[in-house]
């Protein structure tokens, strides 16, 4: 509060010294200062709005690129799953086993069926 009184006293002293013309000059300076303050606030708010809009656009572009990468990875995953299923298929493995490894289908007397109790005992070891 004391600083306010001092500035008022100083302003009043200047007004008294310069008369009515001094008062008009001081009011004009105050109006210019107020206008400059309002203008600077307007510029600051405008710059903030522009900055926020640019940030939103950049985030949107990044999100779009990430979604596109996700879809590419998903397509690649589907392709690899299909390739794995193709490589594991019996239609492909049986001819390869016969040609490259000279394997053949077992005869009925070569097949041994292991009882369930023995399999469980073997797994528990």
What pLDDT sits at residue 1? 45
Domain containing 81 equals 2-124
- If one counts every other C-beta atom within 10 angstroms of the C-beta of residue 14, the result is 13
Confidence grade of residue 10 (pLDDT, cut at 50, 70, 90):
low
* Spatial distance between the Cα atoms of 62 and 53, rounded to a whole number of angstroms: 14
- Report the number of distinct structural domains present in the chain: 1
Q: What integer is the mean pLDDT of 100-112?
A: 89
pTM: 0.51
- pLDDT of 17 strictly over 90: no
3-state secondary structure of 111: coil
- pLDDT of 119 strictly over 90: no
pLDDT digits (tens, 9 = 90+) for 62-93: 999 999 999 999 999 999 999 999 999 999 99
What pLDDT sits at residue 18? 55
* Spatial distance between the Cα atoms of 40 and 47, rounded to a whole number of angstroms: 10
């Amino acid at each position: 509060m004391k600083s306010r009184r001092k500035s008022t006293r100083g302003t009043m002293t200047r007004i008294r010294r310069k008369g009515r013309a001094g008062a008009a000059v001081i009011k004009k300076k105050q109006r210019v200062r107020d206008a400059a303050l309002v203008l600077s606030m307007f510029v600051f708010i405008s710059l903030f709005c522009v900055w926020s809009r640019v940030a939103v656009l950049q985030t949107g572009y990044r999100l779009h690129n990430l979604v596109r990468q996700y879809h590419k990875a998903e397509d690649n995953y589907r392709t690899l799953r299909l390739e794995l299923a193709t490589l594991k298929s019996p239609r492909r493995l049986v001819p390869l086993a016969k040609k490259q490894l000279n394997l053949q289908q077992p005869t009925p007397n070569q097949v041994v069926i292991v009882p369930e109790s023995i399999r469980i005992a073997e797994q528990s070891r």
